[in-house]
A and B are shown apart, each in its own frame.
Chain A
């Protein structure tokens, strides 16, 4: 069974640009989650999608947005990049609320 896949592995952007990160969940999983993990810090909840709908978002500005496609894959967009957006962005999938999350390998975003 293929795990959660994320692309790209690394992404280097300049301040003010936009970044798009992609995620494919485990087959059969309908929920996709996005987390930010800045260096040395814990996992900060960004977004939760389930069945194509945004169910919840964390305490992040509106320039962090995303969507979930009919095939349950997901995209995270970060507009007007700032230096502090540099972090590991982790996508995870599950069968839904209260089910274990399975993480992808992450996308390392560097903003210069």
Chain B
């Protein structure tokens, strides 16, 4: 079982719509969760991090964490063509000293 699994892509959404990205993780001891955006040929950049159950909003982005279901998601509201990228989910724990990444979901926003 992979440590972090993301919903398979690619995901295509029209401009202005909501893009929904999902991620599940296997280690119940996971304590921290991150979403990164990676444009083609570039390095990942941090979008959001969440540590507690519930929702966390930052501008057009909302992260949702449900530790009981071992599930974290990212919503992108009012999607823009500039949001077209690969989104990486990651989990961390002070137990294993590493940040594990999912394979990523590629999002394309159609103008």
Q: What is A's interface to B at a CB cutoff of 8 Å?
A: 33, 35, 41-43, 45, 48, 50, 55-56, 58, 88, 90, 97-106
With a CB–CB cut-off of 8 A, which chain B residues contact A106?
Answer: 43
With a CB–CB cut-off of 8 A, which chain B residues contact A55?
Answer: 97
CB contacts between A and B, total, < 8 Å: 53
Task: Given A98-B31, A98-B51, A101-B34, verify A45-B46 contact (CB < 8 Å).
Answer: no
Instruction: Please give me the residue from chain B that is nearest to A46 by CB atom.
Output: B98
Instruction: Please give me the residue from chain B that is nearest to A55 by CB atom.
Output: B97
Give bound CA distance, A34 to B92, whole Å.
15
Is B98 a contact partner of A45 (Cβ separation < 8 A)? yes
12 contacts between A and B (CB under 8 A): A35-B101, A41-B103, A48-B97, A55-B97, A56-B96, A97-B92, A98-B32, A98-B51, A101-B46, A101-B99, A105-B42, A106-B43
Is A104 a contact partner of B98 (Cβ separation < 8 A)? no
Give bound CA distance, A35 to B99, whole Å.
10
With a CB–CB cut-off of 8 A, which chain A residues contact B104?
Answer: 42
With a CB–CB cut-off of 8 A, which chain B residues contact A33?
Answer: 98-99
Interface size, B (range): 20 to 34
Task: Given A98-B92, A101-B34, verify A58-B98 contact (CB < 8 Å).
Answer: yes
Q: Given known contacts A43-B101, A45-B98, what 13 new A-B pairs fall within 8 Å (CB)?
A: A33-B98, A42-B102, A42-B103, A43-B44, A56-B96, A90-B43, A97-B94, A98-B92, A100-B34, A101-B34, A101-B90, A101-B99, A105-B42
With a CB–CB cut-off of 8 A, which chain A residues contact B32?
Answer: 98-99
